[in-house]
Amino acid sequence: MARIQGYLIDLDGTVYRGEQLIPGASQAISLLRARRRRFVFLSNKPLQSRMDYAAKLTSLGIPTEKSEVVNSSQVLALHLSREAPGAKVFAIGEPPLLAELKEAGLILTDKPEEIEYVIAAFDRTFDYRKLNIAFQALKRGARFYATNPDRTCPVENGEIPDAAAVIAALEATTGRKVEKIFGKPSRYMIETALEVLALPPEKCAMVGDRLETDIRMAKENGLTAILVLTGVTRPEDVRSSPFQPDYIIPSLAELPALDEKIGGER
Amino acid sequence: MARIQGYLIDLDGTVYRGEQLIPGASQAISLLRARRRRFVFLSNKPLQSRMDYAAKLTSLGIPTEKSEVVNSSQVLALHLSREAPGAKVFAIGEPPLLAELKEAGLILTDKPEEIEYVIAAFDRTFDYRKLNIAFQALKRGARFYATNPDRTCPVENGEIPDAAAVIAALEATTGRKVEKIFGKPSRYMIETALEVLALPPEKCAMVGDRLETDIRMAKENGLTAILVLTGVTRPEDVRSSPFQPDYIIPSLAELPALDEKIGGER
């Protein structure tokens, strides 16, 4: 069995909950960095830029570079910039997603007759005008991509509608299905993360709190899957799931101890 | 076989197309009124009031009373005012729907903790704020109704997203299914129309241009079904449909001639 050199770490529910760092997370990452483990931090949310995530982690006590963060908007922008450089796109999304698309050389337009790609994302400024522009473009044959498949996004006092609202509204009215989704559990996210780590899947482990995204994505792509119990999953949820982790640890604080067992030579 | 005394008439595609009256429609209705046939005009659109529809028909040459118009917002408001008089409702919809709900004695609120019924409708002012209010209310257990099931609404140069967008966004994010839909082809619309006509179904015929709504609703509820070819259906579409009309006429202009055959004594 190959030894682990790199870790893909989910953020919300794994490193922090809202604005609260999981106890021991900072020490764990710093200990593993001393063992020269490589890291990428993964988020499905297209609401903040990679710079924002790196700044948040750093301020919480985990010094992080922008290049160590992978989120769904970046994965989508990277993929599109390779598949169709300079393509004309219309995104139902917030400013950080639009900035990411522009940075990748894509051209933003809201003219249905020009739009080559419609991007559905988590958008708290979603409205009928955007819905109709995307609808008209899709009826004319534009491609139909989405950042992330999440139904809801956890917030301080509960949850709010996520990208699934936009995807469903467009699917129901156009009769078309979204063609590619880039966030977890898609292989696109894994591919980008492995590219950043410059490691093959068998030398990497995914650490996360969700069976149907984090653990599923790891298992489907040949990574070691590590479940933490600081997020949405309870121990009793694991048995009935089709997505079985290789290891279960109480929290990220216990990752260094597990790394002693599964990590490569230092 | 019972003889026909009353007609339920679809509007768009049957009486007019956009702002253009179907040739001969005015003369046909006036001839049938002289034979003391009763009429209701049906619309799924919750964007105009019954008064607006009556005024439009009158201005196009078909003098019509408000009481002869049945639309999806009225059917819903009537049903709700009987099922839960004075209930607290939140509607994703435009002002004419809100006015209809208020007129029926229902109380409009946008506080999720108060909302007893969420109404999804065709709404060109749909936005994330409304989506989130409805989402929060549905998560707390509010009932989930919709005015009409249409994917799209025909407009001058094509079509635009209809109530299906709102229904789908709420279903996808809450994991719940809409409980009742009041527009065609629902039985609620037929029940209201027959109440207005004060006739039993076997003495009524439905005239419309759509197999999956007008003809389906007529056949499922014991009415005679008459298809006109002035809207979306072509003669060759009929054979493959599960919804078979009893009669097919080229346009509303030919209804008086058919009435000679199927109409009751004068």
A101-127 pLDDT per residue, tens? 999 999 999 999 999 999 999 999 999
Residues of chain B with CATH 3.40.50.1000: 6-44+184-262, 73-181
**If interface means Cβ-Cβ distance under 8 Å, which residues of chain B face chain A?**
123-128, 131-132, 135-136, 139, 151-152, 158-162, 164-173, 175
Does B127 contact A126 at a Cβ distance shorter than 8 Å?
yes
Q: Name the architecture of domain B73-181.
A: 3-Layer(aba) Sandwich (3.40)
Q: Is B76 exposed, middle or buried (0-12, 13-18, 19+ CB in 10 A)?
A: buried
What pLDDT was estimated at residue A155? Answer: 83
Span B203-220, pLDDT tens digits: 999 999 999 999 999 999
A113, A128, A151: best mutation site toward chain B, by most B Cβ within 10 Å? A128
CATH for A6-44+184-262 is: 3.40.50.1000
Residue range(s) in chain A whose domain bears CATH number 3.40.50.1000:
6-44+184-262, 78-181
Q: DSSP string spanning chain B? A: -PPB-EEEEE-BTTTEETTEEPTTHHHHHHHHHHTT-EEEEEE---SS-HHHHHHHHHHTT----GGGEEEHHHHHHHHHHHHSTT-EEEEES-HHHHHHHHHTT-EE---TTT-SEEEE---TT-BHHHHHHHHHHHHTT-EEEES---SEEEETTEEEE-THHHHHHHHHHH-----EE-STTSHHHHHHHHHHHT--GGGEEEEES-IIIIIHHHHHTT-EEEEESSSS--HHHHHT-S---SEEESSGGGHHHHHHHHBPP-
Confidence of residue A230 (pLDDT cuts 50, 70, 90): very high
- Give the pLDDT score at B256: 97
Q: Which pLDDT value is given to residue B2?
A: 65
Q: Which of A236, A241, A211, A181 is nearest to A46 (CA)?
A: A181
The complex's ipTM works out to: 0.91
CATH architecture type of domain A78-181: 3-Layer(aba) Sandwich (3.40)
The residue of B131, B139, B156, B176 whose CB has the most chain A CBs within 10 angstroms, and thus the best one to mutate to test that interface, is: B131
Name every residue in A having a CB less than 8 A away from some CB of B: 123-128, 131-132, 135-136, 139, 151-152, 158-162, 164-173, 175
pLDDT-derived band of residue B264, with 50, 70 and 90 as boundaries? confident
Task: Evaluate if residue B1 carries a pLDDT over 60.
Answer: no
Q: Do B166 and A169 touch (CB under 8 A)?
A: yes
